Structure 1
Amino acid sequence: MRGARARGINSPAVIRMPIAKEATIDPALEAQVFWYRYRREIAILLGLAVLGIVGVAGYRLYRDRREATAATLFSAAKTPAAYGDLINQYSDTAAAASAYLLLANAQRKDGKYAEANATLLKFLEKFPRHELATTAQMAMAANLQTMGKEDEAFATYQQIASANVPAFNAPVALIEQVHILQEKGKTEDARRICETIMTQYRDSYAAVEASQLLRTLLKTAKPGTPPAVAPPKPGAAVTATVPPTMKVLPAAPPAPNGAPSVAAKPSAAPATPSSAPSATP
């Protein structure tokens, strides 16, 4: 039985392993399972999203109406009291920012410089990134100058120039510093600031004014000096530079007829003091 398959204990057995079939995924079934498992969380997120959209839209509508109402009141406001009412009712609107500036200007015209600065300070606290923030600071410094507080005004101008280098008001603040230093007689410090303006802001109109101020400062710093007189050489005798006083005698009377004429020559003699007339009787 050579061709027959050997069977027995010692014969190797052939073991066949079962082959697992690939599992197929049904997308619809997976979606249903996911929804069934997380349906509550999904519903909450959708509700929050809808509420957020509605809230943002409602807030924008509220802001637009508020801005429109404030703008209407601002166009009708002509007095400081009206500006104050607008600020109190709509303090967070663009119209209120303009009302702050106009109120400060009205207070400055009335001579209320301290109140004007207080109004401008509130404006800066409420709208620190406003496009006219540096202009408000310049107005505060000008009010301080008017009140005679030169040191505080100078410090404000320094703050404007250092914190807003590329801004329009920076060279103007430097020019104002030059004027203050010029009034105090600090010519050297004023000259350095003029040179800074001409270097950093050469394309601005402030550079032209700085050059004019610099010429004025140089003329003030170098007054005209009298011509120097050379000292005498050592060993040389000191001589008088003023000639002695000469006395010219009157011309001689004409000669009688027949006498030879002789040209009268004036004789020069040193001037002598005339003797006083005698007081003898």
Structure 2
Amino acid sequence: MQIYRIPALSDNYIFLLHDADRHIAAIVDPAQATPVLQKLDELGATLVAIFNTHHHGDHVGGNAQLLRQFPEAIVYGGSHDRGRIPGQHVFLQAGDGVKFGDRSAEVLFVPGHTRAHIAYYFPPVDADSTGELFCGDVLFSGGCGRLREGTPEQMMRSLSQLRKLPDTTRVWCAHEYTLSNLRFAIAVDPRNQAVQRRLSEVQRMRRHDEATIPTMLGLEKSTNPFLRWDAPAIQQAMNQRDPVATFAALRTKKDTF
């Protein structure tokens, strides 16, 4: 399974999964149809699936046009998003599975950004490969999504699920927010040398217009404050001891950063 990152809108990424042997493709969170159709044409691939993580327009905006071009494609989304995702055929719950070509993914229910948000996790196929996590707007590189429909406790529990995945998991999040997220991370944890090194590297990458996605989950665990609500440095910075209160204070601070 080859994964292609397609830029869209101002800072979105759409992900195209390609099975070259079968000449088929799947799309994760198509914000727009045009760049997807261009890539499908370039690859000579037929679209067979659309995997939506949640209902926001910058994640489902291309669904209708893609279905007009590929009416046999199946649209997947969370069961609690019924009526909110254009063309949705399959209504997924935690623990369900989806298939693309010869790969299978586990569906994770990760509310917080929205009440219905899901993620797709493709485990590694062997000891030398990586897992692939498509997490929409729950976990970002260096950050996490805003709480549009959920609570801090919900979001923390959702991120707890993702934090348990292997460090070698590649994280395919849907926005290029890494630089601004790390500027916040260094503001709340200025002595963290791992964050300092990562910020310097991301600054270099963005100067050269390089994408910072995918990121690695192991890197997120050491540098992303929204995965470190139980770290003494983060709790001290937020003047909290309770994990949920720490996370809530952190998210509130980021909202106005």
* Bigger radius of gyration among the two: 1
Relative CO higher for 1 or 2, CA cutoff 8 Å, sep ≥ 6? Answer: 2
Q: Kindly indicate which of the two structures has a greater share of residues assigned to strand.
A: 2
